[in-house]
Structure 1
Amino acid sequence: KTVREVVEEAVSVIKDAQARLDQVYAEYAEPDADFDKLAAEQAKLESILQASDGHNLERQLEVAADALRLPAWDAKVSVLSGGEKRRVALCRLLLSAPDMLLLDEPTNHLDADSVAWLEHFLHDFPGTVVAITHDRYFLDNVAGWILELDRGAGIPYEGNYSGWLEAKSDRLAQESKQQTAHEKAMKDELEWVRKGAKARQSKSKARLQRFEEMQSQEFQKRSETNEIYIPAGPRLGDKVIEFKNVTKGYGDRVLIDNLSFSMPKGAIVGVIGGNGAGKSTLFRMLMGKEQPDSGSIEVGETVQLACVDQSRDDLDGSKSVFQAVSDG
């Protein structure tokens, strides 16, 4: 299917209503036309179109496609990248106008302008939205409630991300105090249990039961993220990466035109640009998976490149996590 065919699946009811309405208008001209029946059907169809602003359907499609930077309407979905497919699927979902939207990482593969459009769309969306996201700015701008899943429990908070962060800090401080008190009580009870039977006297049975209850209590500690140790690579020489007059395009579309730069050692560089600007193509050329149309790319002799692309194509789905990480 083409991009347009997939997106139009979301508005099939509207398109069918418009097509049938055109037929109804034509049937009025037939000699044996049942005007009462046609008028009733016309009213029903126009009600459907009016409720969904169906008369402006083409404009709705174009605005959504432009905002989400969709590929060309006639592009085949089967040849699109993972990010492009995700944007097409998101566009179809939003245009379907359901009562509830369930969005899993909706801002992935969206540039800044597309995220801004999505935030505005969701702000005006009349239904319910539930989104899983690691985008803190998106949560701050869109969310009215935060549901945190932590240690097997769901903790709701009314407000945006910034407010939730402050409330969470206070909650963790309170948990720390409770943990300290719990550990002190356990220590006191353990000292009593270790005393001889004579010292425990007659109330030993009840107190032993209390200790056993405290010992079995699952006082869950918050799991913190451990630091990941990344060993230093070989010492870099003066030349790391150099682009000299690099040009790259596909067909009539030029993505990179006469690009030249030299990357110093130890640099941290962020590559920004709209969807389809050529960011992934730049990486593929760096990795030697694609060649420039003209110009040259030079990588220093001691440079060892490693890449994680957005599609994760280098991961073997048959391997376990350990095997994939250990390259086993």
Structure 2
Amino acid sequence: MALVNPYLQVDGLTKRIGDRVLFEHISFGIAEGQRVGLIAKNGTGKSTLLNIIGGKDGYDEGSVVFRRDLNVGYLEQGPSYPPDLTVIEACFSHGNAVTNLIREYENCMNTPGNPRLEEILDRMEKEKAWDYENRAKQILSQLKIHSFNQKISTLSGGQLKRVALANVLITEPDLLILDEPTNHLDLEMIEWLEGYLKRSKLSLLMVTHDRYFLDRVCSVILELDDHTMYTYKGNYSYYLQKQQERIDASNAEVARANNLYRTELDWMRRMPCARGHKARYRKETFYELEKVAKRKTTEQSVALEVKSSYIGSKIFEADYISKSYGADKVILKDFFYTFSRYEKMGIVGNNGTGKSTFIKILLGLVKPDCGRVVVGETVKFGYYSQDGIAFDEQMKVIDAVRSIAEYIDLGGGRHLSAMQFLQHFMFSPKDQQNYVYKLSGGERRRLYLCTVLMRNPNFLVLDEPTNDLDIVTLQVLEEYLRNFKGCVIVVSHDRYFMDKVVDHLLVFQGQGDVRDFPGNYTQYREWQGEKQKFEREQQKDLLSKTKEPPVQKASRTGQREQRRKMTFKERREMEMLEQDIAALESEKKNIEEALCSGMLSVEELTDKSKRLPLLNDELDEKSMRWWELSEIEG
């Protein structure tokens, strides 16, 4: 749909790769101030579309038109820089209007006679090029990059993504194009970027699997499905509602067309050779009807059931394990934890606090400096790592799966063939014949996930499973994990995914400080906000009650805030409280379900009604004591 005075207008765009059509005759526009999120399954051309718009890729038909003199910034999914550059040099390396102008100025100053110097100086003033380096350092600092002379080759994936993000934001674009901006960013940086975009006046076109990000930042959702673009004028929650309405309407149309198609097909077979005007018209209508009838119906979600191996009551224990890399980087310090049956744990923390190292210690891939990990005999791990696995590039998708198993056990005597199992992961029979080297990054991650789950593990360890996966796959995975009859550890920066899947969190705060929080990520952030608010109010009260000079007040406050170390007895008490709280919450849930079932006798109803308030009191008391202990420094 064409917009009045758009920033960007795409009309009739078609892109083919060999005999494969990614999208065909799609049209959309982006107006000033609009924040647009693009949603599609892996392999349908999201990144290709952004590359076309960003000028990195060509197309077969159609047009891409920007408003004249529009400043466009593009963050690619996998940014790259020459490894020998420093961080600050990298901010000047990717050509944009300002950096090109700075180079033009430097060339002018190095040329005898300084040709066109006055004109360049005017443009430098207009583009605010003089303070470009200061702006770069300011944005880098906000993104927690402080070593401006650090070599690009020494940066982690998350740090490199932040440098690339800073590179785009420095130019203050009118239209910002982002391809998976939250990949490799930790939760703190994701929330910073979310807040930055909400406050800015930027127009935005973004591909992301982060559904909270889509919900809170975007005002328009574009969905690329079956080579066609659909537009929803609202955020992600609105999109979910309207998408389901569209799917229901489309499926109903196909069902009606099928009913009529059978009648018309019978007429076509009986139709005489001589055709009058009405017969020709009816024949043309028949072919249009046939197109609709043969259109595939859409399933909103695919249920995935895979049998997990039996898991006993003993899972594993981490007995006072410690791990550090030199004196400056402590990962764990006397960490003790007993994992419960069917527990679903989330692990959060900033990049570099040791989350991935921690799970590698649990899996026996990294040895602790001291302490031990005791794993139960029935535990069968399924490990999905950030690094993935190396597939044979010349192997077909179906053969990659069949090399692991021809059939997957669903339990109860039911089995799925490798081909049927792949269809649950959105690999159609045609896609299964593709070679691995032809797969997109997201399709490779989906295939990797498939190979992990099909081995029937009873303890899943998922390290950043949401990176590069599309939203449809994430919905299937979430539903699978919620019904999974085993244990789960998830390391993820996807807040929506964590809220859906986990029961509690391990929060890595750095330097071996690991805290257990009994709730999901949103509950943790709410508690954290309330805690910070309470501490600010306490500080205000403290300052208002004393008349001592400011330096003296600060000194005494600092003394009061020094926390002692937790004793061994207190540590054991905290561990017992965590087990008691989990048992009480489970009992409370069972009682509430029983009270709502309508199946209880009068005696049972009376007993459970009396038990519930006592249970709540006991739960509150133990939770309060847990919070008191959690404030003691471990």
Common fold by TM > 0.5: yes
Other-structure match for 1:240? 315
Cα distance in 1 for residues equivalent to 2:147 and 2:247: 49
- Residue 10 of structure 1: how far off its partner (Å): 2.3
- Cα contact 1:248–1:257 (8 A) shared by 2: yes
The AA in structure 2 aligned to 1:254 is V
* Aligned-partner SS, 2:161: helix
The AA in structure 2 aligned to 1:257 is K
Deviations 1:202-236 (A, max 9, x none): 97666455445433556522443533342321x22
* Aligned-partner SS, 1:307: strand
Other-structure match for 1:275? 351
Other-structure match for 2:340? 264
5 Å matches for 1:145-224?
145-193=220-268, 207=282, 210-217=285-292, 219-224=294-299
Deviations 1:237-258 (A, max 9, x none): 3321211111122222112222
5 Å matches for 1:65-84?
66=144, 70=145, 73=148, 76-84=151-159
Query: Structure 2: where are the runs of 5+ without partners?
Result: 1-81, 405-634
* Residue 228, structure 1, aligned to residue 307, structure 2: no
The AA in structure 2 aligned to 1:220 is R
Other-structure match for 1:10? 91
- Residue 313 of structure 1: how far off its partner (Å): 4.5
Choose from 133, 138, 148 the match for 1:59.
Answer: 138
Query: Structure 1: where are the runs of 5+ without partners?
Result: 25-33
User: Residues 213 and 158 of structure 1: is their aligned pair in 2 closer, same or farther, counting only changes over 3 Å?
Assistant: closer
* Aligned-partner SS, 1:232: coil
- Cα contact 1:242–1:262 (8 A) shared by 2: yes
- Cα contact 2:194–2:217 (8 A) shared by 1: yes
User: Which one has the largest radius of gyration?
Assistant: 1
Choose from 91, 94, 109 the match for 2:169.
Answer: 94
Greater mean alpha carbon deviation, residues 109-118 or residues 94-103: 94-103
Cα distance in 1 for residues equivalent to 2:165 and 2:254: 44
Other-structure match for 2:621? none
- Cα contact 1:111–1:275 (8 A) shared by 2: yes
How many residue pairs were aligned?
307
Cα distance in 1 for residues equivalent to 2:154 and 2:340: 36
User: Residues 171 and 223 of structure 1: is their aligned pair in 2 closer, same or farther, counting only changes over 3 Å?
Assistant: closer
Cα distance in 2 for residues equivalent to 1:6 and 1:220: 51
Greater mean alpha carbon deviation, residues 125-134 or residues 217-226: 217-226
- Cα contact 1:147–1:157 (8 A) shared by 2: yes
- Residue 128 of structure 1: how far off its partner (Å): 3.3
User: Residues 43 and 150 of structure 1: is their aligned pair in 2 closer, same or farther, counting only changes over 3 Å?
Assistant: closer
Instruction: Quote the sequence identity (%).
Output: 31
Deviations 1:282-307 (A, max 9, x none): 12212222111221112222222221
- Flag the structure with higher strand content: 2
User: Residues 173 and 212 of structure 1: is their aligned pair in 2 closer, same or farther, counting only changes over 3 Å?
Assistant: closer
Deviations 1:16-42 (A, max 9, x none): 96xx89xx9xxxxxxxxx9xx999987
* Residue 253, structure 1, aligned to residue 329, structure 2: yes
The AA in structure 1 aligned to 2:362 is L
Q: CA RMSD in A?
A: 3.9
Greater mean alpha carbon deviation, residues 131-140 or residues 104-113: 104-113
Choose from 372, 379, 385 the match for 1:296.
Answer: 372
* Aligned-partner SS, 1:303: coil
- Cα contact 1:4–1:73 (8 A) shared by 2: no
* Residue 138, structure 1, aligned to residue 213, structure 2: yes
Cα distance in 2 for residues equivalent to 1:207 and 1:47: 66
- Cα contact 1:239–1:300 (8 A) shared by 2: yes
Other-structure match for 1:27? none
